[in-house]
Every structure is written in structure tokens, then in C-alpha cells.
Amino acid sequence: MNLDQRQNAMRPSSFQFLRNTHVTMAKKNFRGRAGKRGNRDENKDGWTEITRENAKWESYYRSQNIIPDEAEFQDFKKHCQETLPLTFRITGSKDHAEEIKQIFKERHLNHLQGLTFLGEPVKQPKPIAFYPNELAWQIDVSKSVMRKDENFAKTQRFLVIETEAGNISRQEAVSMIPPLLLDVKPEHKVLDMCAAPGSKTAQLIESLHSEPNPTGFVVANDSDYKRAHMLVHQIKRLNSPNMIVVNHDAQFFPKVKLHDEFVKFDRILCDVPCSGDGTIRKNAQIWNKWSLGDGLGLNPLQFKILQRGIDLLEDGGRLVYSTCSMNPMENESVIAHALRKNKNMKIVKVQLPGLVSSPGLTTWTVVGKDGETKAKGTEGFADELYPPTEEENKEFGLENCIRVYPHQQNTGGFFITLLEKAPKEKTEEPAKKKFKPTTPAPEKKEKLASATKDNVEPFNFLPSTHPDLEKCWNFYGFDKSDTQITEACFVRNATGDPSRIIYLSTPIVRDFLSANEEKLKIVHSGIRFFVTQRTDLDCPWRIQAEALDIVRHILTDSNPRVLNIGLPLFETFLKEAFPKYHELEERYPDFIAKAKALPHGCGFIKIPREGHEDLMYPIWIGTSCINLMLAKKETFEALYRVFNIETNGSDAYKQTPNGPGKKIQGTNEEVAEATSEETPAVVASEDATPVPEEAAAAAPAPTEA
């Protein structure tokens, strides 16, 4: 008997038996009405026992006939009662993602075949069929197997390391569907209306970056300020200068401008707030919380968000409406209402290869909180809630909505509809320009964006001729006509002078920010480009690792600040904090000679590899030593990926002259060099909230040791 069969054998055949066996433990954080229903209990430790059963939920979905076949309904219910498998997605550029996939297959998958746990065979991870190029995987084993079987524990550690480095995203399989259907291209203007915590936003941004230097952008919005910051934390890992995080009620998302025209978005995601019963496998409390009023209550908000999305959609543009609910009141009812109101919208019939799904419902009953079916015309129940007439549905085609149920491919439940706006009619003249040529950054320092709402510091763009930027262009060998970079630098302080951090945006994002400074509550935009901590060098500004992908094209072999090295020296840099020139000179004389000949400051090492993309990292070239400027988690990741060396959080970070893990001692310069990339006080606080530059500068700087 395998694990599944054993679980199945334990599965109840009667309701009474269910109440006793489908019990899960959840921390007591829910104060709902469930207690009254008597299927909740609390033990002494403050944990809540949740019975994975809810008679109203079951009878509601039976009455809606979502799954007409009884045996299939039983299978559906059985899956809803089971915990969800672990799923993840490999992120990043094509080459990079392929490398991570190969590592997963060679170092993990191969070791997870034919395993047994407590004498039972264990399921092998498998690629998610509907996700392209085997870049998403499902691990279908329980937490105890994950923890106690060393092979799985090793895989778990790999997932943690790669997730922290931004190479892997733990995401529910069904949640990956909406961005796939939106098919975002690098030139698209994209709006994610309800974006936090941001797993789908991350996918949208990745699609935008499917080619270098995309000209489009992603605006990610959430009405909850704290959740908007979670979103920042999640998508910062992607190092995209093409995104903007804002904080608005999506029902009233402001009309925004770009190049003197109102912006219409090419792609919009409306992943609206919902009752979430499709996540019941993950959030067991929903068994207790679920009520008949949930869907009815959410329907008007969901419709208003969708309507605002439709208003903001470009002619011919596409919008995905999605929920993690299976309730027609939150799904087909909202779509039917929108189609009645917006004759220029239609459902696009689409099927993701490999995805097993069911058609949308074309009819449903409206059930009141009292459990009674409410006929159309009943007071308090708007006509818009009701299903379309047969005639209407010939036009709407609600069956082309997509329903995904837990039993179909062992996932959560989800609802997705791809909508398209009619293209602009040919008679309408003149045709609207997509984008005007980008206006250059101001000649003089000029305050472009001053969104000082909610303590958010202004975005002050710098002219490309600013003396600090000129220093950087010359020192690093930037082409000044590369306006995608040189015209898109900004600082975030009221004075508009670079003092500690210069951020990088893109020209179109700059124009968008500056045109909407009064209207938008901007939470975050841009990536850290240059950071300074010293003033006595030719160029005190060092390039941040997070900007490397964007400036890679200038870091060619002919750039004097790029030093080619081999794997053994790279390993040394990963393991040792600030090795001295004389310690390396004997083994790497050419490298040391080149490094010593360079003006001190930031440089780059390039590590060519056969069969994989070249590696590139920033280094600090000092008077007596060289240091790799890489954060701890990225150092661990590189050690693992390139050298198959496993490290964990408790290991000494780097070997220093004083031994592993000891406090670094040395001259001020050495300490500065050794710690130059790790400015945790600053980085951590910026992760949590976008700290104004002054606050960041006020944080204890490692250079002031």
C-alpha cells in the first residue's frame, strides 16, 4: 500500500466518521462563527482542531451542480480535504533558469526515485504539465517525508537557498495560470490591480523581461498598505527597473497619464479578493469560516474592480479575471454582469496545453444567507447576480470560462477568464500614438516626482550630465547615448542631490512617474544602481549586484574594469573575506597585476563556463586586498550552484584572517572592503518599507567602523 492508498484507506465513508478523522490543527487565530456550528474545538495549547467538513459548503456546491457526476464529486471533495502538494516555479532568464532546472534534475530528482518512507513507496516529483519547459514542479509528499527523509530534506534546503536568491518561487500551481494566459510582451503596459503578495506580479515581470531592455512596464497595485510592502519584498528579488508598486482601491484606480495622453493598459490582471474556498486545502480554516453569504457579499466589489479594469484596458487589449473561489457568485455571475454592461468585451476561448479543466457554468441559482433559493426579482437580490438567458449566453459563451478543480491535477481550485476588448474601429481617426519618443531627462536638476504622500520620499530624476553621474559614466565606460540607462537615474530625497544611493528606472517609467506624481500613491519603483560610502576615490560610486543584468552589455572583455577569472579563484572569493594581494599573487599573478594597475573602486569579475552563461559579480578593488561584493544568501547560492557546496545559515559566513565567523578586525579600509556589499541595516529596512534616503544614510554604515 503506498502513502496515497493508506490515506485513502483512512478516508471516511460516512459523514459521522468524517467528523472524527478529517481533523487538522491550526493555530488559534480565527474568531468566526464556526464555533456555533460545532465543528471547531480548542485544546489546551491554544491550537484549534479543524474538521475538514462543512455541510453547507457541500450542499451548496451540490445544488450548483458544479460537478454533476456523483463519483467525480466524491473525488473532488476527497481532494479538498487533503493537504496541498508543494509546488514551485523556476524563475530568471532562460539560460539561468535552465541551469537551475538541470541542477534540480541531476542533484535532486535523480535521488528521489524509487524511495520508500516507513516501508511505503514515495511519489516522485513531477513537472507541472501546463507550465512551459518543465520550469514548474510538483512535489507530492507530506511534510513528514520532506523533513525526515534525508533526500527530500536536501531538496528542501535547495528550495530554500534558491528561493532566497530569487531563482525559485514557491507558488500554487493554479496561481501560475492567469499570467500564462495574459501573454505579456516586453513592450506592454501592464496593470495588476490586486497584486499582493505578488506571485503573479512576479510572473508578469518575468514575461516583460523575456527580452533585454523591455520598453513596457508593470504597475502593481494593492489597496492594503502593508500587503503592498509584502509585494515589494517579493518582487524586489527580480531586480526590474520596469515596475511600479502603488497603493489604491482598485475600484477607483486613478486615470493615469503618459506623454500627455491617458494611459490604457495592454494587459490587466484582476485577481480579485474572494472567499478563497479554492485554497481550502492550504487554508483549512476555510472549512470553518465558509458561509453562504461570502460570495454574495463579495460580488459587487469584484464586479467594480473588473469594471474599472475594463475601463482602463486598451482597445484590443486583454484582461484576465481570476479568483481562487469555486463559487459562481464570485465568478460567472461577475463575468456575465460585465459582459451585459460592456458590449465591447468578449471571452476568449483558450486552453493551456496540459491543463485539465472544466467549462464555466452557464447557469446557477442565487442562494440567500438563509440557504433558500432566491428567485429573480426578490428584494435585496440584484438582477445582475442571475445567470444569462439562453439568448444572452449565445453571445457571452460563459462555458469558455475556465474552472480548475482540486481533483483534476491535484491542485487548489481556481477560476480564470480571459477577456478581450474589441479593437479600435477603423473609422475612428486619428489613430492614437502608442508612445511618443521618450523625452530626455531634464537639463537641470529638476524635481519631477514629489509624491510625498504617506511619507513616501519624492522621486527626483537626475540629468545625465549630473557631475556624479558623469563620473560613473566615465569610470565604468557607459555610452552616454545609452538613454535607457543614462536618462533614467533618480534619487529619493527632498534635496534631489545624490548622497548615498542612485536608483535606476527606465525612461518610460520615469515619464510615467513624473506624469502621475499627484495622482498616484507610489510605494516603490526602481532598483539600486550606484551606492557610495567613500569619497576619496576617482569614482566613489559602486554598481550594485542587483543592477548587473541591466548593465551587462557594457561589461565586455574590453572594459578595463572587467577581470576574467577561473573557477578556483572564484571559489576563493566566495570563501574568503578580503584576501590580500600578496596571498593571491603567487597563484594568480596576471590577475593581481591587472587589478593592481586599476584605479581603486568597484570592478567586476567574469567567470566563463562551458555550457552555461558566464557569471559576473561586482568586486571591490582596494589598496591591499580585493573583495567579492555579494550578499550572504547569494554567496551560499553561488557556492551551491557552481561548486555543489552546501552551506547553511549557521555556518561561518566567510573565512577571515581571524578565522571563520569571527568579528572582522583590520584597518578601516579592510573592514569597509570586507563588508562593503553587506549593509544589512539599510537593505533590510528598505525591504520592509521604502526608507527615505536620509534614513538609510543615518543607519550605521559599515565604513564608519
Ligand X SMILES: C[S@@+](CC[C@H](N)C(=O)[O-])C[C@H]1O[C@@H](n2cnc3c(N)ncnc32)[C@H](O)[C@@H]1O
Nearest to 557 by CA among 498, 616, 506, 502: 616
Residue 441: burial class (beta carbons within 10 Å; 0-12, 13-18, 19+)? buried
CB of 202 to ligand X, least distance (A): 8
Question: What are 86's three cell numbers?
Answer: 508543494
Show Cβ contacts of residue 334 under 8 Å, excluding neighbours closer than 6 positions.
299, 302, 303, 306, 321
Is the dihedral angle over the CA atoms 440, 446, 452, 458 positive or is it negative? Answer: positive
Contact between 489 and ligand X by CB under 6 A: the answer reads no
CB of 690 to ligand X, least distance (A): 18
Question: What are 498's three cell numbers?
Answer: 545624490
Q: Which is nearer to ligand X, 135 or 298 (CB)?
A: 298
Contact between 410 and ligand X by CB under 6 A: the answer reads no
d(CA 335, CA 141): 37
The tally of CA atoms less than 13 A away on the side-chain side of residue 465 is 7
CB of 198 to ligand X, least distance (A): 5
- Asked if 542 and 601 touch (Cβ cutoff 8 Å), the reply is yes
Pick the piece of the chain touching ligand X (CB under 6 A) from 52-60, 245-253, 352-360, 614-622: 245-253
User: 420 forms bridges with which residues in the sheet?
Assistant: 318, 346
CB of 199 to ligand X, least distance (A): 4
The conformation of residue 357, written as its DSSP 8-state character, comes to -
The mark string for 311-350 relative to ligand X (x by CB under 6 A, - otherwise) is ----------------------------------------
CA torsion, ordered 440, 445, 450, 455, to nearest 10 deg: 130
Residue of the chain from 32, 273, 463, 680 that contacts ligand X (CB under 6 A): 273
User: 524 forms bridges with which residues in the sheet?
Assistant: 245
Pick the piece of the chain touching ligand X (CB under 6 A) from 86-94, 207-215, 249-257, 337-345: 249-257
Contact between 250 and ligand X by CB under 6 A: the answer reads yes
Buried (b) or exposed (e) across 13-29, using 16+ Cβ within 10 A? eeeeebeeebeeebeee
The tally of CA atoms less than 13 A away on the side-chain side of residue 568 is 4
Q: Which is nearer to ligand X, 77 or 209 (CB)?
A: 209
Residue of the chain from 100, 136, 196, 683 that contacts ligand X (CB under 6 A): 196
d(CA 596, CA 581): 8
Contact between 91 and ligand X by CB under 6 A: the answer reads no
Q: Which is nearer to ligand X, 206 or 271 (CB)?
A: 271
Pick the piece of the chain touching ligand X (CB under 6 A) from 61-69, 188-196, 599-607, 619-627: 188-196
- Asked if 565 and 607 touch (Cβ cutoff 8 Å), the reply is yes
> What are the binding residues for S-adenosyl-L-methionine?
194-200, 222, 249, 271
- Asked if 28 and 47 touch (Cβ cutoff 8 Å), the reply is yes
CB of 551 to ligand X, least distance (A): 30
Residue of the chain from 271, 277, 330, 670 that contacts ligand X (CB under 6 A): 271
Q: Which is nearer to ligand X, 142 or 203 (CB)?
A: 203
- Asked if 244 and 522 touch (Cβ cutoff 8 Å), the reply is yes
Is the dihedral angle over the CA atoms 499, 503, 506, 508 positive or is it negative? Answer: negative
**Count of residues binding ligand X (CB under 6 A)?**
18
Contact between 175 and ligand X by CB under 6 A: the answer reads yes
Terminal-to-terminal C-alpha distance of the chain: 63
Residue 279: burial class (beta carbons within 10 Å; 0-12, 13-18, 19+)? buried
324 included as an active-site residue = yes
Residue of the chain from 100, 165, 194, 243 that contacts ligand X (CB under 6 A): 194
The mark string for 200-239 relative to ligand X (x by CB under 6 A, - otherwise) is x--------------------xxxx--x------------
The conformation of residue 367, written as its DSSP 8-state character, comes to B
| Active-site annotation holder among 274, 324, 472, 489 | 324
Q: Which is nearer to ligand X, 250 or 683 (CB)?
A: 250
List binders of ligand X among 423-462 (CB under 6 A).
Answer: none
Show Cβ contacts of residue 372 under 8 Å, excluding neighbours closer than 6 positions.
none
Q: Are strands 217-221 and 243-246 parallel, antiparallel or unpaired?
A: parallel
CB of 400 to ligand X, least distance (A): 22
Q: Which is nearer to ligand X, 300 or 657 (CB)?
A: 300
Pick the piece of the chain touching ligand X (CB under 6 A) from 197-205, 312-320, 491-499, 658-666: 197-205
Q: Which is nearer to ligand X, 222 or 634 (CB)?
A: 222
Pick the piece of the chain touching ligand X (CB under 6 A) from 190-198, 434-442, 452-460, 666-674: 190-198
Catalytic residues: 324
Binding site for ligand X (CB under 6 A): 175, 194-200, 221-224, 227, 249-251, 271, 273
